[in-house]
Amino acid sequence: MAGRTLEAALHLLDRQLVDKDGRLAGKVDDLELEFPAGGGPPTVTAILAGPGALSRRVGGRLGAWVEAVTNRLRDGDDRRPARVPFAVVKRINSAVELSVARAELETNRLEAWTREHLIGHLPGAGDAPE
């Protein structure tokens, strides 16, 4: 496979995440990097997505507020942002295509919460369009 140089900030950050069924699964809000013990360039180990990751990029009072709200909505004491292991990335074009369904991703937590507590209760929520 011919090498294609990607610039992390340009070709990954803020791109759309698309799951294996073509459903939209959030944006690449941040990247988890690992620095090899012996030195050398870092490798991307995971995509961080969702308000937990975005809030740290926004920073300041607004970022702290978003992060607090996100943590409040979450079950348990887990404070880290939603993580998508880089191993499930299938292809990188204008969007980042994943090889799993979005229901299996941590980034789907708020979406699932909204469905479970709000939208799922509305009449017609499960109706397929014509």
Partner 1 sequence: MALPTLLVLGKLGLAVLLVGFFAATFGAALETGLSCGYSVAQYFGFQWGKFVRPADAPRFHLVVLVSILFGAGLVLTTIDPITVTEYSIVLSAAALPLTYFPILVVANDPDYMGDKVNSRFTNALGSLYLLLLLVVAVATIPLMVLTKAGS
Residue 2 touches partner 1, criterion: CB under 8 A: no
Q: With contacts defined by CB under 8 A, how many residues of the chain interact with partner 1?
A: 26
Does 118 sit near partner 1 (CB under 8 A)? yes
Residues composing the chain: 130
Determine which residue in the list 16, 56, 71, 109 makes contact with partner 1, applying CB under 8 A: 16
Joined tokens for residue 67: 């992060």
- Say how many CA atoms lie within 13 Å of 117 toward its Cβ: 7
109: exposed, middle or buried (C-beta count within 10 Å: 0-12, 13-18, 19+)?
middle
Of the candidates 51, 34, 125, 9, the one whose C-alpha atom is nearest the C-alpha of residue 87 is 34
CA geometry: angle 37, 52, 71, nearest 5 deg = 115
List 49, 53, 98, 105, residue binding partner 1 (CB under 8 A): 49
Stretch that binds partner 1, among 25-33, 37-45, 65-73, 79-87 (CB under 8 A): 25-33
Q: Does 46 bind partner 1 (CB under 8 A)?
A: no
Contacts with partner 1 by CB under 8 A lie at 11, 16-17, 23-27, 49, 93-94, 102, 110-111, 114-115, 118-120, 122, 124-129
